[in-house]
Chain A
Amino acid sequence: SQTIHQWPATLVQPVGSPLSLECTVEGTSNPNLYWYRQAAGRGLQLLFYSVGIGQISSEVPQNLSASRPQDRQFILSSKKLLLSDSGFYLCAWSAGTSHTGELFFGEGSRLTVL
Protein backbone atom coordinates (compact mmCIF):
# COMPACT_ATOMS: atom_id res chain seq x y z
CA SER A 1 0.00 0.00 0.00
CA GLN A 2 1.02 3.58 -0.53
CA THR A 3 2.20 5.78 2.33
CA ILE A 4 3.34 9.36 2.60
CA HIS A 5 5.51 10.81 5.32
CA GLN A 6 6.65 14.33 6.00
CA TRP A 7 8.88 15.80 8.66
CA PRO A 8 9.48 17.47 10.95
CA ALA A 9 6.00 17.48 12.51
CA THR A 10 6.53 20.67 14.47
CA LEU A 11 9.14 23.39 14.36
CA VAL A 12 9.67 26.84 15.77
CA GLN A 13 12.04 29.04 13.81
CA PRO A 14 13.24 32.64 14.18
CA VAL A 15 12.59 35.17 11.43
CA GLY A 16 15.37 35.09 8.85
CA SER A 17 16.37 31.49 9.48
CA PRO A 18 16.30 28.81 6.76
CA LEU A 19 13.66 26.10 6.37
CA SER A 20 13.63 22.59 4.99
CA LEU A 21 10.58 20.33 5.05
CA GLU A 22 10.86 16.90 3.52
CA CYS A 23 8.23 14.55 2.14
CA THR A 24 8.55 11.02 0.81
CA VAL A 25 6.04 8.68 -0.78
CA GLU A 26 6.30 4.90 -0.73
CA GLY A 27 4.50 2.21 -2.65
CA THR A 28 3.91 4.07 -5.91
CA SER A 29 5.88 5.33 -8.89
CA ASN A 30 5.83 8.67 -10.67
CA PRO A 31 3.33 10.32 -8.34
CA ASN A 32 2.17 13.91 -8.70
CA LEU A 33 3.43 15.74 -5.63
CA TYR A 34 2.09 18.87 -3.96
CA TRP A 35 2.90 21.31 -1.17
CA TYR A 36 -0.02 23.15 0.44
CA ARG A 37 -0.08 25.67 3.27
CA GLN A 38 -2.96 26.24 5.65
CA ALA A 39 -2.90 29.43 7.72
CA ALA A 40 -4.94 29.49 10.93
CA GLY A 41 -8.65 29.49 10.05
CA ARG A 42 -7.94 29.61 6.34
CA GLY A 43 -8.26 27.19 3.44
CA LEU A 44 -5.50 25.17 1.84
CA GLN A 45 -3.29 27.23 -0.46
CA LEU A 46 -1.42 25.39 -3.19
CA LEU A 47 2.25 26.39 -3.13
CA PHE A 48 3.98 23.99 -5.53
CA TYR A 49 3.20 20.90 -7.54
CA SER A 50 5.36 18.50 -9.50
CA VAL A 51 4.55 15.94 -12.16
CA GLY A 52 8.09 14.49 -12.34
CA ILE A 53 11.71 14.74 -11.21
CA GLY A 54 13.00 18.26 -11.57
CA GLN A 55 9.60 19.55 -12.77
CA ILE A 56 8.24 22.12 -10.35
CA SER A 57 5.34 24.51 -10.89
CA SER A 58 5.02 27.43 -8.51
CA GLU A 59 1.65 28.84 -7.62
CA VAL A 60 2.78 31.41 -5.09
CA PRO A 61 5.83 33.61 -5.90
CA GLN A 62 7.15 34.09 -2.38
CA ASN A 63 10.35 33.33 -0.52
CA LEU A 64 9.69 29.60 -0.70
CA SER A 65 11.08 27.09 -3.17
CA ALA A 66 10.56 23.39 -3.85
CA SER A 67 12.72 20.65 -5.28
CA ARG A 68 12.17 17.06 -6.37
CA PRO A 69 15.57 15.37 -6.38
CA GLN A 70 14.09 11.87 -6.60
CA ASP A 71 10.85 10.44 -7.97
CA ARG A 72 9.21 10.09 -4.56
CA GLN A 73 10.89 12.90 -2.64
CA PHE A 74 9.62 16.47 -2.42
CA ILE A 75 11.36 19.19 -0.44
CA LEU A 76 10.09 22.63 0.57
CA SER A 77 12.73 25.23 1.42
CA SER A 78 13.29 28.81 2.33
CA LYS A 79 16.53 30.75 2.74
CA LYS A 80 15.01 33.37 5.08
CA LEU A 81 11.71 32.83 6.85
CA LEU A 82 9.16 35.60 7.33
CA LEU A 83 6.55 35.87 10.08
CA SER A 84 3.88 35.31 7.42
CA ASP A 85 5.36 31.88 6.65
CA SER A 86 3.83 30.48 9.84
CA GLY A 87 1.21 27.83 9.15
CA PHE A 88 0.41 24.18 8.68
CA TYR A 89 2.27 22.72 5.71
CA LEU A 90 0.89 19.67 4.00
CA CYS A 91 2.54 17.45 1.43
CA ALA A 92 0.24 15.40 -0.78
CA TRP A 93 0.42 12.96 -3.66
CA SER A 94 -1.92 11.71 -6.36
CA ALA A 95 -1.55 8.92 -8.89
CA GLY A 96 0.43 10.22 -11.84
CA THR A 97 -1.42 8.05 -14.34
CA SER A 98 -4.89 9.00 -13.18
CA HIS A 99 -6.12 12.54 -13.46
CA THR A 100 -9.21 11.63 -11.46
CA GLY A 101 -7.34 10.38 -8.42
CA GLU A 102 -7.79 12.07 -5.10
CA LEU A 103 -5.00 13.63 -3.08
CA PHE A 104 -3.51 11.73 -0.17
CA PHE A 105 -2.00 13.95 2.49
CA GLY A 106 0.95 13.56 4.79
CA GLU A 107 0.63 14.20 8.51
CA GLY A 108 1.49 17.87 8.19
CA SER A 109 4.25 20.11 9.55
CA ARG A 110 3.31 22.96 11.86
CA LEU A 111 5.69 25.89 11.47
CA THR A 112 5.79 28.83 13.86
CA VAL A 113 8.03 31.73 12.90
CA LEU A 114 8.87 34.06 15.80
Chain B
Amino acid sequence: GQNIDQPTEMTATEGAIVQINCTYQTSGFNGLFWYQQHAGEAPTFLSYNVLDGLEEKGRFSSFLSRSKGYSYLLLKELQMKDSASYLCAVRDGDYKLSFGAGTTVTVRA
Protein backbone atom coordinates (compact mmCIF):
# COMPACT_ATOMS: atom_id res chain seq x y z
CA GLY B 1 0.00 0.00 0.00
CA GLN B 2 0.86 3.65 -0.08
CA ASN B 3 1.42 6.24 2.62
CA ILE B 4 1.59 9.79 1.30
CA ASP B 5 1.81 12.73 3.69
CA GLN B 6 1.55 16.43 2.99
CA PRO B 7 0.51 19.41 5.15
CA THR B 8 -3.17 20.17 5.31
CA GLU B 9 -3.04 23.94 4.85
CA MET B 10 -0.61 26.73 4.02
CA THR B 11 -1.10 30.48 3.73
CA ALA B 12 1.12 32.93 1.90
CA THR B 13 1.10 36.47 0.59
CA GLU B 14 0.72 37.45 -3.05
CA GLY B 15 4.14 37.64 -4.70
CA ALA B 16 5.78 35.37 -2.13
CA ILE B 17 7.14 31.81 -2.42
CA VAL B 18 5.57 28.72 -0.88
CA GLN B 19 7.04 25.21 -0.63
CA ILE B 20 4.73 22.24 -0.20
CA ASN B 21 6.43 19.11 1.10
CA CYS B 22 5.38 15.55 0.43
CA THR B 23 6.77 12.37 1.95
CA TYR B 24 5.85 8.92 0.78
CA GLN B 25 6.30 5.24 1.48
CA THR B 26 5.34 2.97 -1.40
CA SER B 27 5.72 -0.58 -2.60
CA GLY B 28 7.78 0.22 -5.67
CA PHE B 29 8.13 3.59 -7.32
CA ASN B 30 7.42 4.72 -10.86
CA GLY B 31 7.16 8.46 -10.58
CA LEU B 32 5.73 11.27 -8.49
CA PHE B 33 3.14 13.76 -9.73
CA TRP B 34 1.82 17.08 -8.53
CA TYR B 35 -1.71 18.17 -9.40
CA GLN B 36 -3.59 21.41 -8.79
CA GLN B 37 -7.27 21.30 -7.87
CA HIS B 38 -9.49 24.35 -7.55
CA ALA B 39 -12.57 24.00 -5.38
CA GLY B 40 -15.30 22.00 -7.09
CA GLU B 41 -13.16 21.19 -10.11
CA ALA B 42 -11.14 18.22 -11.34
CA PRO B 43 -7.38 18.09 -10.70
CA THR B 44 -5.05 19.33 -13.43
CA PHE B 45 -1.50 18.08 -14.00
CA LEU B 46 1.38 20.29 -12.86
CA SER B 47 4.57 18.25 -12.81
CA TYR B 48 6.17 14.82 -12.95
CA ASN B 49 9.43 13.57 -11.39
CA VAL B 50 10.88 10.10 -11.79
CA LEU B 51 14.59 10.86 -11.31
CA ASP B 52 16.19 12.75 -8.43
CA GLY B 53 16.49 16.47 -8.86
CA LEU B 54 14.58 19.58 -9.73
CA GLU B 55 12.12 20.05 -12.58
CA GLU B 56 11.23 23.64 -13.39
CA LYS B 57 8.16 24.81 -15.24
CA GLY B 58 7.71 28.54 -15.19
CA ARG B 59 6.67 29.67 -11.72
CA PHE B 60 6.34 26.08 -10.52
CA SER B 61 9.21 23.70 -9.66
CA SER B 62 9.15 20.19 -8.27
CA PHE B 63 11.96 18.34 -6.52
CA LEU B 64 12.40 14.62 -5.84
CA SER B 65 14.69 12.57 -3.61
CA ARG B 66 13.90 8.90 -4.05
CA SER B 67 16.28 7.74 -1.29
CA LYS B 68 14.46 9.98 1.21
CA GLY B 69 10.96 9.37 -0.12
CA TYR B 70 10.56 13.11 -0.37
CA SER B 71 9.33 15.70 -2.82
CA TYR B 72 8.39 19.33 -2.75
CA LEU B 73 6.45 21.67 -5.00
CA LEU B 74 7.72 25.24 -5.09
CA LEU B 75 5.37 28.01 -6.14
CA LYS B 76 7.06 31.33 -6.89
CA GLU B 77 5.62 34.82 -7.40
CA LEU B 78 2.32 33.71 -5.95
CA GLN B 79 -0.84 35.00 -7.56
CA MET B 80 -4.38 35.01 -6.19
CA LYS B 81 -5.35 32.40 -8.78
CA ASP B 82 -2.85 30.00 -7.20
CA SER B 83 -5.22 29.56 -4.26
CA ALA B 84 -6.13 25.89 -4.62
CA SER B 85 -5.47 22.43 -3.28
CA TYR B 86 -2.19 20.82 -4.37
CA LEU B 87 -2.13 17.03 -4.55
CA CYS B 88 0.97 14.86 -4.34
CA ALA B 89 0.55 11.51 -6.08
CA VAL B 90 2.86 8.50 -6.38
CA ARG B 91 2.81 5.76 -9.00
CA ASP B 92 3.73 2.45 -7.40
CA GLY B 93 5.36 -0.70 -8.72
CA ASP B 94 2.05 -1.79 -10.25
CA TYR B 95 1.69 1.59 -11.99
CA LYS B 96 -1.30 2.61 -9.90
CA LEU B 97 -1.45 6.26 -8.91
CA SER B 98 -2.26 7.02 -5.27
CA PHE B 99 -2.92 10.52 -3.97
CA GLY B 100 -2.19 12.34 -0.75
CA ALA B 101 -5.00 14.24 0.97
CA GLY B 102 -3.87 17.52 -0.57
CA THR B 103 -2.54 20.83 0.73
CA THR B 104 -4.88 23.81 0.59
CA VAL B 105 -2.92 26.95 -0.26
CA THR B 106 -4.52 30.30 0.45
CA VAL B 107 -2.94 33.36 -1.16
CA ARG B 108 -3.66 36.65 0.60
CA ALA B 109 -3.34 40.10 -0.91
B98 and A100 contacting across the interface, CB-CB below 8 Å? no
Q: Does B33 contact A (CB under 8 A)?
A: yes
CB distance from B13 to the nearest CB of A (A): 25
* Size bracket of the A interface: 20 to 34
Q: Is A44 an interface residue (CB 8 A)?
A: yes
B31 within 8 A of A: yes
Take A42-B101, A43-B101, A44-B87 as given contacts and tell me if A99 and B95 are in contact as well, using a CB distance cutoff of 8 Å: yes
Interface bits A92-114 vs B (CB < 8 Å: 1, else 0)? 00100001101111111010000
With most chain A CB atoms within 10 A of its CB, the pick from B30, B87, B95, B100 is B95
Interface: A74 (CB within 8 A) = no
B42 and A105: CB pair below 8 A?
A: yes
Q: Fill in one digit per residue for A41-68: 1 if any B CB lies within 8 Å of its CB, else 0.
A: 1111110010000000001000000000
CB of B36 to closest CB in A, whole Å: 11
Query: Which partner residue on chain B sits nearest A34 by CB separation?
Result: B97
Q: Which of A34, A42, A106 has a CB less than 8 Å from the CB of B42?
A: A106
Q: When the two chains form their complex, are residues A99 and B87 in contact, meaning their CB atoms are under 8 A apart?
A: no
| A90 at interface by CB-CB < 8 Å | yes
Would you give the 0/1 interface string for B67-96, flagging 1 where the beta carbon is closer than 8 Å to chain A?
000000000000000000001010100011
Check B41–A43 contact: CB distance below 8 A. no
Q: Is the CB of B102 within 8 A of A103?
A: no
**In the complex, what residue of chain B is closest to A44 when comparing beta carbons?**
B99
Q: In whole angstroms, how far apart are the Cα atoms of A36 and B44 in the complex? A: 14
Chain B: minimal CB distance from A8 (Å): 15
Inter-chain contacts of A99 with B (CB < 8 A) = 30, 91, 95
Task: Pick 11 A–B contacts, CB within 8 A, sort by A.
Answer: A34-B97, A44-B87, A45-B99, A90-B43, A100-B31, A102-B48, A103-B33, A103-B89, A104-B45, A107-B42, A108-B42
6 tightest A-B CB contacts, nearest first: A43-B101, A105-B42, A44-B99, A102-B45, A43-B99, A108-B42
- Identify the A interface with B (CB < 8 A): 34, 36, 41-46, 49, 59, 90, 94, 99-100, 102-108, 110
